[in-house]
Amino acid sequence: MRGIFVFLALMLVSRVHGFDVWVNQSEVGSRKNPCSSSWGRPLCVGLTLIQSAASKGALCMDGSLPGYHLHHGFGSGSNSWVVVLEGGGWCNDVTSCNGRKFNHRGSSKYFEYEIPFEGILSNKQDENPDFYNWNRVKVRYCDGGSFTGDGYNAAGLYFRGQRIFQAAMEELMSKGMRYANQALLAGCSAGGLAVIHHCDEFGALFPRGRRVKCLSDAGMFLDAVDVAGHRTLRSFFSSVVRLHRSARTLSRTCTSRMDPTSCFFPQNMIPNIRTPLFILNSAYDAWQVLESLATPRADRQGLWTKCKSNHAFCNGNQIQFLQGFRNQMLNVVSDFSNSRQNGLFINSCFAHCQSERSDTWYAGNSPQIGNKRIATAVGDWFFDRSQIKAIDCAYPCDGSCHHLL
């Protein structure tokens, strides 16, 4: 039952032209902001708009300025930086993108002035032992294309994700990140996908010899077949890439041998990434179960309705299908995991985004693999304390999960 209550508290589902854009509210700030509460208030960090962005054409979907939240580091972390790219789904046509112009996913006019910094962004050592005193940044997401687009639509829509990423990095370098002796680019969901697309670009900002790595949380969106035998996510991503003109900014190493839509999928990008990368993902990613594998369009008879509301209601055939999805996930990361510089934490939870939540990052009851919590695994990998290639046993063996369905 706990999983159901967490699901109801943290998630919303909105219909966008036949594609359910399931949004983790903790990642986009559309839940009630804890910063507005006077009781139990977490660290809340104010918004900074990037004033130089306009001259570079680095604009949110409605033409407003992009922004970020920065909490300065201290002590031994003064010259270390963690930069988190916000997530929040995608839009794939003029109508759905136009809708974003009127909320925080497409306009800085609707950004919260303050947002909570939790999980990997926390400033408390007992919540975030390795990164608590670093300079911690959250770059807001207002382009709808995982920071990859570079176009403009006659309807007045700016698809400038690539320019926003570049403007944000230039701004942060001017704020002191150029002096970083170690840096980590992170993000979850659409932000986790953006990390994969920008990991090498981030690494190239720093001189050789600096410790620079990337963390993609819940960013492994697979080009998978749904319960009806169709490729729902491929169709959706194809329209995202086309509308946002993302092909211009995707890795040429990939697009020289594959079509742009295939290169938007992380499974075709990770073999080309040179910068050390850590993949944190659930083998039964809750977003993909709901919005890629068992969508209402694919499940017209509603056979998956109970399973999607509570994993305990999934029947044998449904579990077998989900195990097949897990196997595909493991096959995708098998070669990636062979590299000593890369890290892996694939747990068997029905979850999505685990690095920016205090209850899943380093709480006493956080998800674990081999008695190691996510924050510990990421820290051990980042600081080269040990190699981390953690793959959980198949569902339902893991009792430490915080299920979202």
To the nearest 10°, report the CA torsion of 385, 391, 396, 397. Answer: -50
Clarify whether 352 is annotated catalytic.
Answer: yes
Sign of the alpha-carbon torsion through 362, 364, 366, 369: positive
Distance of CA 258 to the CA centre of its chain: 24
Instruction: Give the Cα separation of 365 and 116 in Å (integer).
Output: 21
Q: Contact, 351 vs 367, CB < 8 A?
A: yes
Beta bridge partners of 389: 344
- Catalytic member of 20, 226, 285, 392: 285
Instruction: Give the Cα separation of 93 and 236 in Å (integer).
Output: 10
264 contact partners, CB below 8 Å, separation of at least 6: 148, 237, 240, 241, 246, 250
Clarify whether 335 is annotated catalytic.
Answer: no
- Catalytic member of 189, 216, 292, 348: 189
Q: What is the token pair recorded at 257?
A: 């041998």
Sign of the alpha-carbon torsion through 12, 310, 265, 26: positive
Q: What is the token pair recorded at 124?
A: 């408390």
Q: Contact, 131 vs 125, CB < 8 A?
A: no
Tokens 């403007």, residue? 167
Clarify whether 189 is annotated catalytic.
Answer: yes
Instruction: Give the Cα separation of 327 and 373 in Å (integer).
Output: 23
Please state, as a whole number, how many other Cβ atoms lie within 10 Å of the Cβ of residue 40. Answer: 6
DSSP state of 289: I
Instruction: Give the Cα separation of 353 and 20 in Å (integer).
Output: 18
Beta bridge partners of 280: 217, 345
Instruction: Give the Cα separation of 52 and 48 in Å (integer).
Output: 12
Beta bridge partners of 46: 114
- Catalytic member of 352, 355, 366, 392: 352
Q: Contact, 115 vs 45, CB < 8 A?
A: yes
Catalytic site positions: 189, 285, 352
